[in-house]
């Protein structure tokens, strides 16, 4: 599945498979303005850290087209639109990363038409490189799984959360491509149900055996010996190896440690934030209570009762067996392995 994010260069429009409607309806959501892209990010038409980054890169190109309507003031208008775009969601660092890469490439270009050409090509490069990074992670991570393993994953870190192939699910696909028999337990992931709806959808489509479990079944499944390894994705990995990922991930990691089950994180270098020393400084998105108080249009909590809807939590680096990246598998101590492998330019 590598076509759920498409860019129509002639129309300067981003075409997204609407993930809110999966698995039952496959519908395209077109974004023609930056406001459309921001809406798509915030309402999770498209979600997952790398997919957010790729969409934001195309969003910059759309912002430029919009800004050109401001004539001589196009640069100021562009800056305003890019700042809005970069703040659409706070936790996944790939969003700020992608806008930063686009900004840097455009810094010295004075002609908006020339900038348009540079940015169209760069957004497509970011898109293609994300798929290549996932496939490299699949090769490194696939080697860590054993034939016959059942792997638990939390949220959706698959093709839908990236440009294609996936990070955590890319590792599973990598092992399957090596001829290993792998089964998956997908935690349902309340409240947006990325596991039940999206992970189950894409694995089932690929004929990889998948069973959906309620989030609160995790301990029982581990205790019964039904989980051999855990592999999850990440929204931000900071300098000491602390990992922000979907709410509930840290609980899965704590349980995995309790039951002696290896816990891996898979993420590309674009998900690392080396400027942040530890996880306590990662901004955690606090989403609308409606996602918790309602299932679809049905209210499930009493009127007037407050709810929590933090979208992410932080897993302590001490609970992580290894971090799978496109440059190799990082081992503890993470402060030095991250500095050595992610802190270096791979081309130097
Ligand atoms: O709120 P979401 O659906 O954007 O959260 C997604 C996750 O937490 C994923 O696990 C993470 O972005 C990694 S995606 C390869």
pLDDT score, position 2: 75
Structure tokens belonging to residue 123: 């957004």
**Cα angle 252, 229, 269; round to 5:** 80
pLDDT score, position 344: 77
Decide: 221 and 213 in contact? Cβ < 8 Å: yes
Question: Is the CATH number 3.40.50.10470 carried by domain 141-342?
Answer: yes
- Interval 153-180 mean pLDDT: 98
Alpha-carbon gap, residue 23 to 310, rounded angstroms: 24
pLDDT band at 75 (very low <50, low <70, confident <90, very high): very high
Residue 346 scores a pLDDT above 60: no
Residue 228 scores a pLDDT above 80: yes
Atom of ligand 1 nearest to the CA of 168: 15
Alpha-carbon gap, residue 269 to 52, rounded angstroms: 15
Question: What DSSP character marks residue 26?
Answer: -
pLDDT band at 95 (very low <50, low <70, confident <90, very high): very high
Residue 314 scores a pLDDT above 60: yes
Question: What DSSP character marks residue 325?
Answer: E
Q: Find the catalytic residue in 18, 130, 149, 235.
A: 235
- Identify which of 255, 340, 289, 267 has the alpha carbon closest to the alpha carbon of residue 48: 267
Burial profile 83-109: b = 16 or more Cβ within 10 angstroms, e = fewer = eebbebbbbbbbbbbbbebbeebbeee
pLDDT band at 218 (very low <50, low <70, confident <90, very high): very high
Residue 347 scores a pLDDT above 80: no
As a whole-number percent, the residues of the chain with pLDDT over 70 amount to 99
43-54 confidence digits (pLDDT tens):
999 999 999 999
Residue 345 scores a pLDDT above 70: no
Identify the residue whose C-alpha is closest to ligand 1 atom 8.
246
Is residue 205 annotated as involved in ligand binding? no
Which of 42, 155, 234, when mutated, tests ligand 1's pocket best, judged by the most ligand atoms within 8 Å of its CB? 155
Is residue 224 annotated as involved in ligand binding? no
Q: Where in the chain is the domain with CATH 1.20.120.420?
A: 5-134
Q: Are strands 150-154 and 183-187 parallel, antiparallel or unpaired?
A: parallel
Please list every protein residue whose CB sits less than 6 Å from any atom of ligand 1: 47-50, 92, 155, 157, 161-162, 167, 194, 233-235, 245-246, 311
Distances (CA, A) of 94 to 124, 131, 267, 306, 326: 16, 14, 11, 31, 15
Is residue 6 annotated as involved in ligand binding? no
* CA of 162 relative to ligand 1 center, distance in Å: 9
Q: Where in the chain is the domain with CATH 3.40.50.10470?
A: 141-342
- Interval 231-247 mean pLDDT: 98
pLDDT band at 195 (very low <50, low <70, confident <90, very high): very high
* CA of 235 relative to ligand 1 center, distance in Å: 6
Cis peptide before 56 (omega within 30 of 0): no
At the top level of CATH, the class of 5-134 is mainly alpha
Is residue 194 annotated as involved in ligand binding? yes
Q: Is 235 known to be catalytic?
A: yes
pLDDT score, position 1: 75
* CA of 109 relative to ligand 1 center, distance in Å: 34
């Amino acid at each position: 599945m590598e076509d759920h994010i498409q860019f129509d260069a002639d129309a300067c429009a981003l075409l997204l498979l609407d993930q809110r409607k999966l698995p039952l309806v496959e519908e395209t959501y077109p974004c023609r303005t930056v406001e459309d892209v921001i809406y798509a990010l915030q309402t999770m038409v498209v979600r997952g850290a790398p997919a957010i980054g790729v969409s934001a890169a195309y969003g910059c190109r759309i912002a430029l087209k919009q800004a050109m309507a401001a004539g001589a003031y196009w640069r100021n208008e562009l800056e305003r639109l890019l700042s809005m775009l970069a703040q659409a969601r706070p936790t996944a660092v790939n969003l700020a990363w992608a806008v930063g890469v686009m900004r840097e490439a455009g810094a010295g270009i004075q002609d908006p038409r020339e900038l348009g050409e540079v940015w169209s090509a760069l957004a497509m490069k970011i898109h293609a490189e994300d798929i290549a990074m996932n496939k490299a992670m699949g090769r490194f991570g696939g080697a860590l799984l054993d034939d016959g393993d059942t792997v638990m994953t939390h949220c959706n870190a698959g093709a839908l959360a990236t440009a294609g192939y996936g990070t955590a699910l890319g590792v599973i696909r990598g092992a399957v491509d090596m001829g290993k028999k792998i089964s998956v337990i997908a935690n349902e992931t309340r409240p947006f149900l990325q596991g039940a709806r999206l992970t189950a959808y894409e694995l089932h489509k690929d004929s990889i055996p998948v069973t959906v479990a309620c989030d609160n079944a995790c301990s029982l499944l581990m205790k019964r010996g039904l989980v051999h390894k855990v592999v999850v994705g990440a929204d931000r990995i900071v300098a000491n190896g602390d990992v922000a990922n979907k709410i509930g991930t840290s609980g899965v990691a704590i349980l995995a440690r309790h039951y002696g089950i290896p816990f891996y994180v898979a993420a590309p270098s674009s998900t690392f934030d080396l400027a942040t020393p530890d996880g306590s400084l990662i901004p955690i998105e606090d989403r609308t209570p409606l996602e918790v108080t309602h299932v679809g249009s049905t209210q499930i909590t009493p009127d007037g009762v407050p709810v929590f809807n933090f979208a992410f939590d932080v897993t302590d680096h001490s609970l992580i067996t290894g971090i799978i990246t496109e440059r190799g598998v990082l081992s503890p101590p993470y402060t030095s392995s991250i500095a050595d492998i992610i802190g270096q330019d791979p081309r130097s």
